[in-house]
Structure formats: C-alpha cells, structure tokens
Structure 1
Amino acid sequence: MKVLVLGATGGTGQRIVQEALAQGYKVTALVRSLTKGEAIFPNIKTLFPELKLIQGDALDREAVAGALSGCDGVISALGTGLSLFHEVTVLSDATRTMIEAMRQQSVHRLVCITGMGAGDSRGHGGFIYDRLILPFVLGKIYRDKDRQEAEIRASNLDWTIVRPSYLTNGPATGNIRVTTNLAGIRGGSIARADVANFVVGEFLQKKWLYKSPIITNL
C-alpha cells in the first residue's frame, strides 16, 4: 500500500508519516523544501527506506500529479499560517488541485484533516474558543476549511474528513472518542500521535466513509 501525504512536514503530518511507515505503508511526501524534509526525516535511506520525498508545491498541478503517481490514496494534513488581514484560500485551492489530480489518475481514497469548528462542528469548541479564538484569530482559516470540506464533499472520491479537537504534542494515549454526534461536544484536546494513529487506520478501514467525525481524547 502506497500513500501520498500532503502537509508531511507539519506537526501532525510528521506523525502521520511515521505511523504509516510503522504500519508497513510506502509513503510519498510532497514537500516544499527538500532541505527541511531531510532535516525532519534524517538518514532517510537507512531510517526511512519506504519514504520518498518529492519537492513541490501542493498548489502546483504537475507537482501533485507527479507525486500521486503509483499511490493508492492521499492523506492530507495541510495547514496554513495565521492571517488576520488577508483572506485565506490555500487550503481550498490545494484541495481542488489534489482532487483534480486524483480524478485524472483514478485514485479514489482520501482522508483529510480539517478541525473542530469547521462546518457543522462550529460552536462546539468551548466558550473561549467559540466566542474569541475562532471568530477573531482563526476566522479566515476556518472559512477556508469550510470551502475545503465543500470541495471534498462535491467530489466523487471515497472521502473521510477528520476534525480533531485542540492538538497537543504528548504521547499517544490510545483513548480516542470518535463521533459525528455533536450533542455534548464542548472542546477537548487530542495528541497528534493519536490523530495519526486514527487517520492511518481509517485510510484502509473506511469505517467513517463519507462522514466527518470529530476526534478527541477521552
């Protein structure tokens, strides 16, 4: 099984790559900088022989198509920096580019990470998050996450959208709540390592096909 990981050098993306390799996948990672990628995954030929780094931009159709060649699906952990004054479109633009490449190559499986607060999960992050952080700090990013999710739902792909709660860098706990029932959901947090474990498992298991579960630690 071979998977293309987008956003592989981000905090969650790194753990997804490591988890996929641990589970026996071959992994291709599209990275904007080979220097940064090789620094994150040192001694790649000896420590990560099943990992292939390809330099390119997720907004570049040719780069995405080239990285996707021979893959069985995509795990997207794309992120973007804060933008308080300018509209954000990189997530939806990159997702549109990825979907077009997947259609052209008849690759159907996609697992994409967005976040709690996207789509109908808005209003379930807790008082401070919902009233202050989301509207005043993350508003432009989450409007683009909404567009990103809409692009995925309108595609003909076998998709799962994963919405993690607040991300932490602690070790995996193995105690994960996965739900599409938003009743009683008010914030929470989850280790990136637990997100990686869930996402890589879901890629093949397809228990949440065509669904958008929130995941959080118990």
Structure 2
Amino acid sequence: MKILVLGATGATGRLIVSRALAEGHDVVVLARSRARTAILTGVQIFEGDARDGAVLTRAIAGCDAVISALGTGLSPFQKVTMLSRATRALVGVMNAQNVRRLVCITGLGAGDSRGHGGFFFDRLFLPLMLRLVYADKNRQEDVIRASALDWTIVRPTVLNDKPAHGRVRALTDLSGVYGGTIARADVADFVVQQLVSSTWLHKTPLITW
C-alpha cells in the first residue's frame, strides 16, 4: 500500500513512518521544510504546507491511504486553526483523487472523550494550556466525521517515549476511564494496523495501556 503521512517529522510521526516501512508500505511524506525530513530514509518527500490543496494533490498522487499525525504546539492565547484547515483541505483532495482511507490522530480530550483525562489534565492543563488547541481538534474531528471517507479517528492518552508494550487497549466506551498513558511506539503500531483493518471504521477509539 502507498500511504501519505502528514506530521511525519514529529515524534510520533517518525515512528509511524518507520512502522509503515517495516510493514512493507511505500511512504510519501509532506513536510513544511525538507530540512526537517533529513532523519527520514526510504520515503518520497514533498515540501509544502498541508493546508495547500495544490501541494496535497501532488503529494497524494498514487496513494491508497492517508495517515494524519499533524500536531501543533501549546497556544494558550492565540486561536489555533491549522489542524482543521489542513484537514478540510485534505478531505477535499482525497475526495477529488478518490482516496478513501484516512486514519487521523487527535487526542484524549477531543470530542466525547473530554472529561476523561483525570483531574490534572481536565481541570488544569487542558483549560489553561490546551483549550484553543483542543477547540481546533474538535473542528478537525467534525470535518472528518462529516466526510464520506473511510475514516478512523485515534485518540491516544498522554504520550510517552517508553518502549512499546506491544499491546494497547482500544476503547469507545469510556466509562470509568480517567487519564492514562501510552508509548508513541504503540500508537504508531496501532495507527499503521488500521490501514488494513476495518475494526474501527467510522469510530473514535481511545487508546491507552
């Protein structure tokens, strides 16, 4: 399978690229700066802004699926729009190019997972540091849900850089879930698995240890 990875130069994105290559997929990367892709090998690289439909059209040519690991930094005071704008452009291009499969990472606290992050995350960190970021994650999820694509939205709990467990819990019933953590490597494994699985099609699994 040939896949386009957005957000491939981030900490989780790099692991997704490595995992996808290990599984035998051909990987295309779109990055804002080619210099940031120097650590990636064995991939086809396009340089440009993920919000630009023309750039996305060139990058997605010949692809069978897209993984979006786009992220944004903390923004306590300035409105965030990058995630939703890039996703809106992506959905339009995927429709035009008849690419159906989209796996997108958002996070614990988006959509109906809000309120399941535990006291510190829900009462302090999210409202003080991540409120505007998560407002855009919610818009991003809304764009995907409204599309006719074959989508899966993956919501990891708090990410860490520990070695992979090799197993995750994937949940849509969040009763009794308040917080959690997961290795980026396990997130990468789970996301790449979804390329060839319909288990979580049109669903929003929260994944955790």
Alignment TM-score > 0.5, same fold = yes
Tell me the residue number matched to 1:3: 3
Q: 1:168-200, CA deviations, whole angstroms, 9 ceiling, x for partnerless residues? A: 111111121001001011101000000000000
Question: Which of 92, 103, 106 does residue 100 from structure 1 map onto?
Answer: 92
Aligned-residue sequence identity (percent) comes to: 57
Tell me the residue number matched to 2:146: 154
Tell me the residue number matched to 1:201: 193
Tell me the residue number matched to 2:102: 110
**Structure 1 runs of 4+ off > 2 angstroms?**
none
Equivalenced residue count is: 209
RMSD after superposition: 0.7
Q: 1:127-186, CA deviations, whole angstroms, 9 ceiling, x for partnerless residues? A: 010000011110000000000000000000000000000001111111210010010111
CA distance in 2, matches of 1:100, 1:65: 10
Question: Which of 42, 45, 63 does residue 53 from structure 1 map onto?
Answer: 45
1:63 Cα offset (Å): 0.5
Tell me the residue number matched to 1:142: 134
The answer to whether structure 1 residue 82 and structure 2 residue 82 are counterparts is no
Q: 1:46-87, CA deviations, whole angstroms, 9 ceiling, x for partnerless residues? A: xx2xx1111111011111110000000100000011111111
The answer to whether structure 1 residue 169 and structure 2 residue 161 are counterparts is yes
Counterpart amino acid of 1:159? Answer: W
Counterpart amino acid of 2:84? Answer: S
CA distance in 1, matches of 2:172, 2:206: 6
Counterpart amino acid of 1:6? Answer: L
Q: 1:70-117, CA deviations, whole angstroms, 9 ceiling, x for partnerless residues? A: 000100000011111111010000000000000000111000000000
- Which ranges of structure 1 fall in alignment gaps of 5 or more residues? none
Instruction: Report the TM-score when normalising by structure 1.
Output: 0.95
Instruction: Report the TM-score when normalising by structure 2.
Output: 0.99
CA distance in 2, matches of 1:181, 1:190: 18
Tell me the residue number matched to 1:186: 178
CA distance in 1, matches of 2:76, 2:131: 8
Counterpart amino acid of 2:87? Answer: T
What aligned pairs does 1:22-61 form with structure 2 within 5 A after superposition? 22-38=22-38, 40-41=39-40, 44=41, 48=42, 51-61=43-53
Comparing 139-148 and 79-88, the one that deviates more: 79-88
- Which ranges of structure 2 fall in alignment gaps of 5 or more residues? none
Counterpart amino acid of 2:75? Answer: S
